[in-house]
Structure 1
Amino acid sequence: MKPDFPTSGTRRFEEAADTQAFGEEVGRALEAGDVVILDGPLGAGKTTFTQGLARGLQVKGRVTSPTFVIAREHRSEVGGPDLIHMDAYRLLGEDDESADPIGALDSLDLDTDLDSGVVVAEWGGGLVEQISESYLFISIDRETAVAEDPDSEARIFNWEWRSGQIV
């Protein structure tokens, strides 16, 4: 990640457009080989965030949830890193004890080398960080704002760079 982006922080976004704008900001800061893990409940805004991130990376294709395809590649339009957007839960299953994230990624037969692309993994906590020495962990909280105001659509994003455990 480029050094001008903060290594940790918290931001609150009231609308989906704000979430996408933050994703675009993150996407502009990412570099080849970066891994982003998105964690949050169903409907938290993981794919919405990734849509903005894809704009920041300037990649081709419509970004949709990877749930049914497991992983989707988006090629760079500007010679930058490609985006690999994946659903780690579907790829690796429930048993993280015996999960082989590198083998699982290899089995997808992706055209993009992980070192030359950016990997964004929805539901990747506890599993995907094994493929990188460091990664950006983003937790999305939609419950705090709803507890304060049941009509709220706000999301709270917490992020930090973490060290991985390559297996």
Structure 2
Amino acid sequence: MKSDLEEGTLTRKRKKQNPDAVDLAQDSDKENSKAKAKLKKCKGGFDNPKAYFFPGEPAPDQSNGGLTYKCLWCPKSVRVNSSTNSNLKTHCDGSSTQNQVRKPCPGRGKAISKGANLPQSSTEEAEEQKKKNATNTGTLTSFVHKGCFNNKTLNKLLVFLGDSTLASMVPL
């Protein structure tokens, strides 16, 4: 037994539309153009790093699907992987690692004066950390950068003090 669909007996009736119902000239105005998507704010209420750059374009030698963004405030271009914006954020704010502090964009001051809401840069954080460490002057902590224990230093102290002082320090 064949179903109604296979036999073709079920059909939908279409409503006939009035061709004058849509005025294409009016609907294609600039005023009625598609709304642009707003960039989401980042953690802390700061501006999205993409707002700091021209729209991304694929570079001629880039084949992995990433884009290259040109900075609005300096002549530098930044390559970005398709899955993350970390290079854009690093360009805007700089970065701080154990060995070095990477400076932020030279046009950062211009962007902030134009109203950009950016987090504290890496150089500002490093200066703040130096000021914080400088307040402890006169103590050993102002001279020590890392508070890690070093066995070599302990061994040198023990040899320097000698066995006689060590023996007097250890209770029997």
TM bin (shorter chain) = under 0.3
- Structure 1 or 2: larger strand share? 1
Considering Cα pairs closer than 8 Å and 6+ residues apart, tell me whether 1 or 2 has the greater RCO. Answer: 1
Give the TM-score of the pair, scaled to structure 2: 0.21
- Structure 1 or 2: larger helix share? 2
* Larger-gyration structure (1/2): 2
